[in-house]
């Protein structure tokens, strides 16, 4: 019996959360090695398996896989969640890259300076409702099927549900103008593997709070002057 994938990360969402989602959707059980101190993270680096000295890292199939997109593409391809041909993979990649942009905005939002928080919030909501969600609403409406790519669950669908739920945590009712996305959310949430992942007690992580942010800053020795700049939504010192 093959060993379970082993996820090396801190105890929070971050970039590993999309990996958790995809493994859960594929019905794959996994273990987590969650470091809590700078020393534990430094020991992981010293182990010699952490390319670029950055996490997330997933240990599976005899490999130590790093870089989020590389991890996700490997899992998607391995578990038949990456389309049936190159054209479908290209579509999945385009959808996922857009979702990743929105995901990153929401993920970094807690790092906003207090005086920038409302501006960043408005920017994220505007981008979600005017740039990103209309694309997925149109795709579902145009082909009239259950999923973004044909009628089979793909990595793009899993990523879309994740980012929808993240956006709803930021603003409830954000899908009010998107009936197809509302139907999609309800339908995909009921898939057995995903429904299980959404239940209390699963390995899904909660939204970051102040305590969690302090842990991240402590582990990675984040500069206290790190902040989230409005509009560009990039990190600057």
Structural domain range at position 164: 86-189
In a domain, residue 174? The reply is yes
Q: pLDDT by residue (tens digit) across 209-231?
A: 888 888 888 898 876 555 555 44
In a domain, residue 222? The reply is no
In a domain, residue 234? The reply is no
Residue 216's nearest CA partner among 35, 58, 52 is 35
Q: pLDDT by residue (tens digit) across 137-193?
A: 999 999 888 999 978 999 999 999 999 999 999 999 999 999 999 999 999 999 999
Our count of domains for the chain comes to 1
In a domain, residue 120? The reply is yes
What is the value of pTM for the model shown? 0.92
In a domain, residue 145? The reply is yes
Count, in order, helices (H) and strands (E) of the chain: 10, 6
Rounded Cα distance, 52 and 54, in Å: 5
Q: What is the CATH number of the domain that holds 92?
A: 1.20.1050.10
In a domain, residue 92? The reply is yes
Burial 16-25 (b: 16+ CB within 10 A, else e): bbbbbbbbbb
Q: pLDDT by residue (tens digit) across 31-59?
A: 999 999 999 999 999 999 999 999 999 99
In a domain, residue 93? The reply is yes
Q: Give CA 131 to chain center in angstroms.
A: 19
In a domain, residue 183? The reply is yes
Rounded Cα distance, 81 and 84, in Å: 9
């Amino acid at each position: 019996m093959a060993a379970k994938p082993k996820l090396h990360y801190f105890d929070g969402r971050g970039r590993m959360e999309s990996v958790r989602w995809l493994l859960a959707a594929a019905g794959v059980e996994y273990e987590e090695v969650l470091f809590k101190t700078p020393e534990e993270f430094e020991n992981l680096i010293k182990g010699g398996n952490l390319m670029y000295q950055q996490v997330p890292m997933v240990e599976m199939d005899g490999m130590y896989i790093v870089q989020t997109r590389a991890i996700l593409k490997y899992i998607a391809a391995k578990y038949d969640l990456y389309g049936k041909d190159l054209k479908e993979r290209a579509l999945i990649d385009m959808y996922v890259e857009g979702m990743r942009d929105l995901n990153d905005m929401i993920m970094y939002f807690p790092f906003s300076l207090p005086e920038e928080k409302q501006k960043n919030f408005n920017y994220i909501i505007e981008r979600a409702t005017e740039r990103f969600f209309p694309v997925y609403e149109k795709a579902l409406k145009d082909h009239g099927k259950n999923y973004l790519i044909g009628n089979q669950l793909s990595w793009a669908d899993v990523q879309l549900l994740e980012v929808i739920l993240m956006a709803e945590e930021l603003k409830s009712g954000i899908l009010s103008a998107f009936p197809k996305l509302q139907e999609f959310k309800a339908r995909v949430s009921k898939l057995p593997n995903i429904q299980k992942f959404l239940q209390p007690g699963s390995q899904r992580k909660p939204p970051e709070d102040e305590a969690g942010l302090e842990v991240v800053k402590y582990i990675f020795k984040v500069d206290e002057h790190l902040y989230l700049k409005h509009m560009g939504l990039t990190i600057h010192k």
